[in-house]
């Protein structure tokens, strides 16, 4: 599949996408991100083994709805046949939802319980296995197969180029590179140079990921790496408006910074969407960190974030957010 056809399938025009983040990129975050300019999203990672075992919670995690825009399902695992089975199973609509536009293979998760099981970023220890997994998944589905990886396992094993070439040989349609090693986790600086090297080495599209927090870092990432697009992760948590800011910069359009009132309105919408999906207690508990980040840089935010982090109901969160608005109005 050539780039033009691939981007049309994925809904990509400017190359601005929401990266997968376990515990963050649920349905609610994908919806508000799409509302504010994300062209393409990837779900939280789901276990291929859990899919094979028929785990209901895993299928719920992978479910996509039309209101979140073009979305891929991300799977993780290490067994080619199991990965292929899961990809085939998840490439169809689930429970009346929308079909994914792609299956993404996680080769970048750095957490110990995944890495020690030979999954996620541990796959980068074996480019041969990467090629076999991608080939099996590619042959099992009729939609694009994409891959997300890191710069390497650690400073001594910076092998993103080798792994990207293996993924391409297996039939991957696109690669996203997070410019940190597994050992770095989410600390230190992103290595734009390794992303640029991957872009130069492969013929398929490459997206750059890591430390994109505003239009300046986005434009610099694109300039240095020459990537075909950017995937935004933590920078969009509590700030889905970032997608609009970057797209405005890419098109030389005017960007109006959202008011506190607009930020609060979006935060409440995200929480309500999460409640519809998960129920109030679970949704509020899981979303508190994200909702609190909507208040970043506003006066008195620290005290109000503390209230939100203690909240257990929608009403408590709404009251805390309204306090922020009142304090700004009275200032």
CB 136 within 8 A of CB 99: no
Tell me which DSSP letter residue 173 carries. S
CB 62 within 8 A of CB 93: no
How far is CA 107 from each of CA 119, 134, 224, 320, rounded to the nearest angstrom?
A: 7, 11, 23, 39
CB 324 within 8 A of CB 259: no
Tokens matching residue 132: 């076999």
If we measure between CA atoms, which residue out of 17, 24, 42 comes closest to residue 234? 24
3-state secondary structure (DSSP) of residue 180: strand
Quick check: is 109 catalytic? yes
What's the rounded Cα separation, in Å, for the pair 67 and 152? Answer: 35
CB 30 within 8 A of CB 243: no
**CB neighbours of residue 94 within 10 Å:** 18
CB burial class (10 A; 0-12, 13-18, 19+) of residue 307?
middle
* Bridge partner residues of 231 (DSSP): 17, 209
Catalytic residue numbers, as ranges: 109
């Amino acid at each position: 599949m050539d780039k033009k056809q691939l981007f049309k399938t994925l809904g990509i025009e400017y190359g601005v996408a929401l990266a997968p983040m376990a515990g963050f990129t649920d349905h609610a975050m994908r919806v508000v991100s799409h509302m504010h300019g994300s062209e393409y999203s990837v779900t939280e990672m789901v276990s291929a083994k859990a899919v094979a075992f028929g785990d209901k919670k895993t299928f719920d995690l992978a479910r996509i709805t039309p209101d979140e825009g073009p979305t891929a399902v991300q799977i993780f695992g290490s067994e080619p046949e199991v990965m292929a089975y899961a990809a085939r199973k998840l490439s169809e609509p689930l429970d009346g939802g929308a079909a994914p536009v792609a299956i993404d293979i996680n080769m970048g998760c750095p957490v110990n319980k995944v890495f020690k099981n030979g999954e996620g970023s541990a796959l980068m220890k074996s480019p041969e296995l990467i090629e076999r997994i991608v080939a099996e998944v590619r042959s099992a589905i009729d939609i694009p197969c994409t891959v997300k990886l890191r710069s390497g396992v650690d400073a001594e094993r910076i092998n993103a180029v080798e792994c990207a070439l293996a993924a391409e040989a297996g039939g991957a349609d696109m690669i996203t590179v997070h410019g940190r090693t597994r050992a770095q986790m989410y600390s230190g600086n992103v290595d734009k140079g390794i992303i640029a090297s991957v872009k130069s080495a492969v013929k398929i599209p490459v997206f750059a990921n890591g430390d994109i927090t505003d239009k300046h870092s986005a434009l610099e990432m694109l300039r240095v790496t020459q990537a075909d697009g950017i995937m935004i992760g933590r920078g969009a948590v509590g700030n889905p408006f970032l997608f609009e800011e970057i797209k405005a910069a890419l098109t030389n359009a005017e960007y109006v910074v959202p008011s506190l009132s607009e930020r609060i309105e979006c935060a409440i919408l995200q929480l309500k969407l999460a409640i519809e999906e998960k129920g109030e207690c679970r949704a509020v508990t899981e979303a508190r960190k994200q909702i609190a980040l909507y208040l970043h840089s506003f006066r008195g935010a620290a005290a109000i974030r503390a209230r939100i982090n203690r909240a257990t109901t929608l009403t408590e969160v709404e009251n805390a957010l309204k306090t922020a608005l009142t304090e700004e109005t009275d200032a």
